[in-house]
Chain A
């Protein structure tokens, strides 16, 4: 059984982002880029399933400009068997990503596709659900536990929902999107980073996959959020209680 994992190259989570002065977006030149943390979790889960003997191969996929290959190399160094890069300079919204992934699924025929629940740049939280809809596959989103039963061809997923934890059972093939608590991703070791250099990354263009990049969204402007007014430091509990009662009038 093959598992496919989608990984996205984003601004490193530890970088404090800056909005460009012309408000067209966020500064990305000379900014550290990394694999989206939710995608790392997705890849880690796929690797653990393979290591437990339930899958034979893990394929990492990334989409976008040439630099995505660096992110794919990181994925290969973590342990993915091979990579696929969909090479495009077009702006990709989740619907296009989902269509490109569907085309790759037609080529590779994986039984399980694991994605991060959202990317920490656009925070969309859409691609996995959209792909599941396009394929007519069942979906287990925001997963914090995944148990695969190869014999019965099912996967049991604990999902983090507003009211607690929801457990679902899905028939394979299925789509899973990962939440933060699913696992702790591994670091790539130096020998594995070296090994990753010889692993294969296949390249596709959207045209080769017969996918038209649709753009039905337009980014008008990106702004800094309004700053909160600096508050006051009170010196005692008495002062705090007094302020809350008589100034803010919230208690």
Chain B
């Protein structure tokens, strides 16, 4: 087998979900050569390629596509790039993490290659057999890919955790080569233009990769009250999450939403305050190792998945926790 991993990078390094995609590629077969594809422009791309070359012992080659057309993650040029690289490399598999980046690009690239991609893979049970959640995680579907190469997958990064590797784990960095873009089609490129990204910069750890996540629901009642959640998160060095109800009520921005239509998280500790536990929310956090739920309503469905439940008023519980929880290590 030979696998192409489509990676996302930011600030000179590839992101953690992309490393999970390499981890997933590793479980396709023992005999698998993994190339990782990075695209962008300028010095941060070169830096990210160097990071990629030494981030995982399984990577045998780094492909770097440097072009102004690839500065922003627009689906049109990126899908074209994947198509081009596949035609040259004839990979048996193409894997990417199923974040908004991969979900935007992979199906488009698959259509150009006339194959059916498989979204949100959570388990690899053979080179062409995969498990993925359907119905918001209320059922798990095992699918077999019977089409021609490449078999294209987006994987849930929380299902393919990467063992911590120090930066020096590989003594030899994988070779980096430039993708020849002289035949890069122009057709669809330019029909879409990047305007801006309004991001919520934060000092807190990233929601998708945090060890501890503290989530607030509608019961917080206001953006002002939601600051209690943030305070608690600060104390534990945790990321802040929210339910769709809390986001829709305007307490916090949408990038904090945990659930089927938001982020999928699987931290060591997940603490939910005033969260009822709608199935769409549970789909986004049910793989957390330890789940704590605090809710006034003893019948809230969240208690059915919680390891530790506390029936009580969060406006009393949170201040008490702030007092009694130890400071983060």
Contacts and interface: CB of A to CB of B under 8 A. Distances in A.
A66 B146 CA distance: 28
30 contacts: A16-B138, A19-B139, A26-B135, A94-B107, A123-B119, A123-B120, A125-B119, A126-B119, A127-B107, A129-B104, A132-B75, A137-B191, A138-B192, A162-B100, A163-B200, A171-B192, A180-B261, A217-B147, A220-B144, A222-B141, A223-B139, A225-B133, A225-B137, A231-B306, A233-B308, A236-B310, A237-B310, A243-B308, A250-B268, A251-B236
A248 interface: yes
Contacts of B142: 219-223
Interface residues of B, number: 89
A237 B144 contact: no
A148 to B, nearest CB: 15
Given A126-B107, A133-B111, A17 B79 contact: no
B180 interface: no
B115 A216 contact: yes
B146 A138 contact: no
A251 B325 contact: yes
The CB with the most chain A CB atoms within 10 A, among B76, B99, B112, is that of B76
Contacts of B197: 161, 163-167
Given A130-B107, A162-B208, A232 B147 contact: no
A234 B117 CA distance: 45
Contacts of A229: 307
A141 B79 contact: no
A250 B290 contact: yes
Nearest to B306: A231
B254 interface: yes
Contacts of B199: 163-165
B6 to A, nearest CB: 14
A165 B253 CA distance: 10
B200 to A, nearest CB: 5
B88 interface: no
Interface string A133-144: 110111111101
A179 B76 contact: no
Interface stretch (B48-56, B59-67, B167-175, B316-324): B316-324
Interface in A149-166: 156, 159-166
A174 B192 CA distance: 9
B58 interface: no
Contact of A234 (B74, B195, B309): B309
Contacts of A222: 134, 139-142
Given A139-B75, A218-B146, A98 B111 contact: yes
B291 A94 contact: no
A216 B198 contact: no
The bracket for how many chain A residues form the interface is 35 or more
A224 B292 contact: no
B198 A167 contact: yes
Contact of B134 (A95, A123, A131, A237): A123
Given A169-B195, A251-B326, A133 B107 contact: yes
Interface string B73-85: 0111001000000
A249 B321 CA distance: 16
Interface in A81-106: 93-95, 98
Contacts of B290: 244, 248, 250
Contacts of A126: 107, 110, 117, 119
Contacts of B141: 122, 219, 221-223
Nearest to B267: A250
B103 interface: yes
Contacts of A203: none
Nearest to A11: B135
A232 B291 CA distance: 11
A216 B31 CA distance: 24
